Structure 1
C-alpha cells in the first residue's frame, strides 16, 4: 500500500486562495462608482478603459468587464427590500429615471363602441363572468363558450317544434341560419364602430335604396363583398366581363426590430449631421424657382399698374392747351352756321342763336 504524504501548508494556502476567489466574485473595486437605474436594470460605467488590455486580450477583457458590472448591479438589487412569494424572492423595482426613446409612437386609446357609450351614459357596469359553468346534463363544470362548452344546443339530436311554427319547417336548418345571421350582425356592428371612431363614410354593401351611389362606390362595395370571405376572396369566382378591383389604401411597412441595424445607424447619423449643422439644408432648385416666380409676379404687377395709369389719362380728355383750337364747331369753339353736321338747315333758330320771324330768312 503506497503511502501518501500531505503538506498541511499547501492545503491551507489552497483553502485561502479558494476563499479569496469566493470573496472576489461578489466584491468589485472601481475607481468611479457606477450610475444605476434599477427601474430599467441599467448600469452605466464611466471608468477609463485601457486600450492596451482591450487590444491584446479583447475577449477576456470584455468578459471580465461585463462580469464585474453585472455583479455590481446584482449587489445593488440585493440592497432593495425583498419578500418571498411562493418560495421565490421578489424585489420591487423603483421608478425609472432614465428616459428611453420609443421607436414607435404611443398607441392611441381604443375608441369606445356604441354600446360602451350607451352603458357610460346609463351607468351600466360590466359584470365579469367566470369561464366555467355548471352543465346539468353532463353533471360537470364546462366552458361557458367555445369548444366543448356546457349547454351546447348544437349537439342535440332532437328539437321540439314550437306551437306557432310550421310543422314541415326544418328546425335544424333554421337554427344554423339564425346563428349565421347573428355572426354577420356582430361583424357589421364591429365595422360600423370602426368607421364611426375614424369618422369616415363607408359605402353600403350592395344596393342601398336610400342613397344614390356612384360607379366608384358600387365597385368599392363589390370589392368589399368579394374580399369578405374566409380566404379574402382568393377562391371567389368572377363574372365573365368583370374588371379586377383596384386595391385601395397603402400598405404599412415596418422596419424589423431584430436584425441588421446598418440602415437604422445610417438614418440616425444623417439626422445627427443635419441637427449639428449651423446652416439649414437648402434646396437650391426650389429656392431659385421661388425667386424667379416672385420676380415675374412683381414685373406683372408693375406692368399692370402702368397700363392702368395710361388708361385713366386718356379718359380725362385732351390737355388744357389744346382746348379752343382746331376746326370750328369743335369742343370749346363756336357753333357752325346754317347747316349742322347732318347736312340739313336749321329751322327756328338763326345762326347767331336768335329766333327768326316766320316768312323771313
Structure 2
C-alpha cells in the first residue's frame, strides 16, 4: 500500500515536470530570426490552419502562436550573460547587444542647439563653466513635490497668501500688511505689463509703429479718419472684406477702396467659352472694318499738332522779344539819322526856315 502511494507520487511529479518542460519548449519547423537588441523575433513559418476570418478558434490560435514566439524570445534573453544588480541584492539584469535591424524613425533627429555668442567665445578661449546651470524645478518641502522655481505655483508658495505676516519695526502698528502686500503685487504686475508694452513698441518702432502712428490709436481721430481706418480694417481679411458683417447704417465701400479683384477663366473644361473667344478673334482679323478708332486718333494728332505749334510760337516770340529790342534800336537810330539829315537839308535850303512848316504869329 505504501509502495503504491510512493509510485503514484513519483508519477505525478514526473507528469508535472513534463508539463513544465512542454510549457517552455517550443518546436518550430523554421527557426525564428532574432534581433535581441530591438527585442524583435521574426517568424517565417506558415500560419496555422483556422486563423482565417470567421473561425471560432482564431483568437485561441493567435494567443498560442504569440505565446510560443515570446517564449523563444525570452529564451534568447536568458542565454545572454547576466548579473545581479545593486551588489547582488537586486534583480537579474542582462546587457542587450547592439541592434542589427534599422528601424525607421517617426520624426527626424533633433538638430543640435546653436551656440550662443558667449559659448562660442568660451570654446574659442578654452573657458570652462565654473558653476552648473540651475534647473527650473526645485523640491518644495511644504507640498512634498517638485515645483517651478518662478511663476505660478512656484516652490515655497505665494507670499501674498500667507496667513501670518510680520510687522516691520519701521511700519505703523495699525497698518494692514495684507493690503500692502496686495497693493505691491498689483504695482509689480502693472510695471511688468508696462515694460512689456514698451519692449513691443521698441521692437516695432521701424515698420509697424510708423503705420500705427498714422492711425492715431490713442483716440484723436475725426470722422473721416475713423471711416478710413474702418475701411482699411475691413478689407484686410483674406476675402478682402467680402464676408465681414456691416453696421446697420454703414455705407458700402466703393470698389476703388476695396480693390479690383482679377478674374481668370478656367484652364480646362470651358469649351464653349474658348470657342467663342477664338471665333471673335478670327472675325476681328477677317473683318474689313479697321480696329482703329479714327476719330480718337485724329483728335489725338490734332492735339499734338496744336501743342507743337504753341511751343514753337512761344519759342519764336521769346527769341523775337530778346532780339527785337536790339533790332528796333538799330532801326530807330537809322531813322533818326535820316530824319536829322533831311532836317538839316531843309534848314539849309530855306532861309530862316526850320525843319517844318508853321504859321508865324
TM-score of Structure 1 vs Structure 2, range by shorter chain: 0.3 to 0.5
* The structure with more radius of gyration: 2
The two structures have a TM-score, normalised by structure 2, of 0.40
TM-score (norm. length: structure 1): 0.40
